[in-house]
Structure 1
Amino acid sequence: MIIVTGGAGFIGSNIVKTLNEQGRTDIIVVDDLSDGKQFYNISDCDIADYLDKDDFLQRVQLDDGLLDDVEVIFHEGACSSTTEWNGKFMMENNYEYSKTLLHACLEKGIAFLYASSASVYGGSDVFKEERRFEKPLNVYGYSKWQFDQYVRQLQCTYPDKVFPSQVVGFRYFNVYGPREQHKGSMSSVAFHFNNQLKDNGICKLFGGSGGYGDGEQRRDFVFVGDVVKVNLWFWQNPTQSGIFNLGTGNCQSFNDVADAVIKWHGEKGLQGSKSYTPFPEHLKGAYQSFTEADISALRAAGYTDAFANVEQGVFAYLDWLNA
């Protein structure tokens, strides 16, 4: 049995769908469907059962046998809003919940693969899995960073600093791709550019800021298909544990994303262009103009597959999004 928390969310539903394609349907999806529209993400997936996230946590705490035959938990469930400032809610939902699942997995020998975030680097200009570069700027980033710290500290309490079962954290960079439409304003720029071009023929970007030209702010954009591949590779390589950046290792500009969207639609006969709006005053000094994952630890662990660049990933995404 496989459990995917946040299984009706963006990355979680892509994991579920890929597992289906590999012949696995013995999957329990755990999520919060208060936003009922999220069910669309798993409406084409085959699963064994669905559990509400609160009911699932209660059953884990009661140790009622639910986890007895579970091989792995992909823990993708979290509040991922960087604009949410209710710290009590964020720490209960992201931090305490994760601690409970971690300990249950360690007690039962279940692989635990969880979502961390590149937001733990916040104000840093170096993106490497070391304490000195970790500077979260919001409570979401802090909740993810504090759990990473808990994992590190707990690991040191075991003989030879080795967990009894696999524990892997993935610091996701700017993930984009299918099944993210429910995220609204938090959806990727590729999603928004696609809608803007279809609505009025123009992709809207920020003007220059912080020494970067118009639309030239740069991020490590990683296609969700690659994110799923890395998750599943680690599960199939159970001797590998740790906290790893999950990005491409190469940054590209927002212009590159818009150009890819425009090119894809141009090949379908719909012409588009770009426009730039002045960089918002309220974001100056609080905006990451550059991210680029250092993936040396990921490569050292043995993951060798190439990552899609922006044009490759955007084309695959728009093929799905506009089908």
Structure 2
Amino acid sequence: MIIVTGAAGFIGSQLIHKLNEENYNYIIAVDKFDNEIKNKNLEGLKIKEKVDRDNLMEWLDVNYEEVEFIYHIGAKTDTTLFDIELLERLNTNYTKEVWKRSVKYQIPMVYASSAATYGLGEHGYDDDENHISELKPLNPYGQSKQDFDVWALAQKEKPFFWAGLKFFNVYGPNEYHKGRMASVIWHAYNQINKTGEMKLFRSHNPEFKDGEQQRDFVYVKDVVDVCYWLMHHRTNSGIYNLGSGKARTFLDLTKAVFAAMGKEENISFIDTPEDIRDKYQYFTEANMEKLRSIGYSKKFHELEDGVNKYVQGHLSKLSL
């Protein structure tokens, strides 16, 4: 059996889809399952059992002998949330409990970290573990992920295989429930569909022109391919970046959405909301050399290709 936490969420549900494609059908899906909209992500997937998030540790203590692998993808991912206690409980401390059982029962695990740990990028975007403790996240969500990464590296007892994946800007199917935290592709498609135009955040940094803020956008199918590969290559534990390795502008992204929709470009700018303005990353780009160095060789989608697949293969077929 394979455990996937955050099973009903964006990346978790896509990972289960990938596992099913590869004929792994004994999936233990872990989530709260209290969001009917999000639960639609699980429709049609092969799952052996659903376990409430709050009951996972007790379930593991009973069923550990049957578990082959743990994917701990679930987390509170709202970068605008400032409830530090909640983030510490659900992201940092919960992951520690999963880790401890992974050690105790000798179950390999992959867990979700985040590029939010890099903050302004003053130390670059290199996943060298010797420098991870120096990173300065810009928000409590990023700090909750950073706190666990630092804790994990400091542990004397580690799972016989483990990998922490610093997800960059992931986009793709099954993110429709995420609201404000959904990708810009999702928001662009909806806005263009309704109004014929897209409003991007204006730059409040003199080093970047409007719309030329850059992020490392990575297609969710590439993310789950890496997760799946790691289950079969359990020799190099550690923390790894997981992005496309290529920063692109929000203008590039928006133009790709217009093109995929077959519509004429109509782009304007609005002020970045004040509650996130001073916590805003203007540039992210994953250094992917470390993952490549352990043998991962599959190419990542170019932004235009991923956006086209997402828009034409999924968004255009939804009733929004």
How much has 1:286 moved relative to structure 2?
2.5
- 1:150 is matched with 151
Q: Aligned letter for 2:67?
A: V
Q: Aligned letter for 1:205?
A: L
* Equivalent residue in structure 1 for 2:301, among 288, 303, 308: 308
- 2:284 is matched with 291
User: Measured at CA, do residues 133 and 127 of structure 1 come closer, stay the same or move farther in structure 2, by a change above 3 Å?
Assistant: farther
Question: 1:213-252: per-residue Cα shift (whole Å, max 9, x none)?
Answer: 1211000000000000111111110112100010111100
> 2:102 touches 2:159 (CA, 8 Å); kept in 1?
no
Structure 1, 298-307 or 244-253: larger mean CA deviation: 298-307
> 2:166 touches 2:242 (CA, 8 Å); kept in 1?
yes
Unmatched segments (≥5 aa) in structure 1 = none
- 2:107 is matched with 110
- 1:101 is matched with 98
Question: Within the alignment, does 1:322 sit opposite 2:316 as a pair?
Answer: yes
Whole-Å Cα distance in 2 between the matches of residues 188 and 282 of structure 1? 18
> 1:127 touches 1:133 (CA, 8 Å); kept in 2?
no
How much has 1:34 moved relative to structure 2?
2.1
- 1:77 is matched with 74
User: Measured at CA, do residues 164 and 16 of structure 1 come closer, stay the same or move farther in structure 2, by a change above 3 Å?
Assistant: closer
- 1:241 is matched with 237
TM-score, normalised relative to structure 1? 0.92
> 1:114 touches 1:169 (CA, 8 Å); kept in 2?
yes
Question: 1:259-292: per-residue Cα shift (whole Å, max 9, x none)?
Answer: 01100111xxx44421222344554433111111
Matches within 5 A, 1:258-269: 258-266=254-262
Q: Aligned letter for 2:126?
A: K
Q: Aligned letter for 2:297?
A: T
Whole-Å Cα distance in 2 between the matches of residues 170 and 221 of structure 1? 15
- 2:12 is matched with 12
How much has 1:132 moved relative to structure 2?
5.9
Whole-Å Cα distance in 2 between the matches of residues 43 and 292 of structure 1? 34
Two-structure CA RMSD over aligned residues (Å): 1.5
> 2:120 touches 2:282 (CA, 8 Å); kept in 1?
no
Structure 1, 292-301 or 112-121: larger mean CA deviation: 292-301
Number of residue pairs matched? Answer: 311
- 2:165 is matched with 170
- 1:223 is matched with 219
- 1:127 is matched with 125
> 2:172 touches 2:310 (CA, 8 Å); kept in 1?
yes
Whole-Å Cα distance in 2 between the matches of residues 95 and 208 of structure 1? 32
Q: Aligned letter for 1:43?
A: E
Percent identity reads: 39
Unmatched segments (≥5 aa) in structure 2 = none
The DSSP-based 3-state class of the residue aligned with 2:66 is coil
Q: Aligned letter for 1:54?
A: D
User: Measured at CA, do residues 29 and 133 of structure 1 come closer, stay the same or move farther in structure 2, by a change above 3 Å?
Assistant: same
Q: Aligned letter for 2:88?
A: M
TM-score, normalised relative to structure 2? 0.93
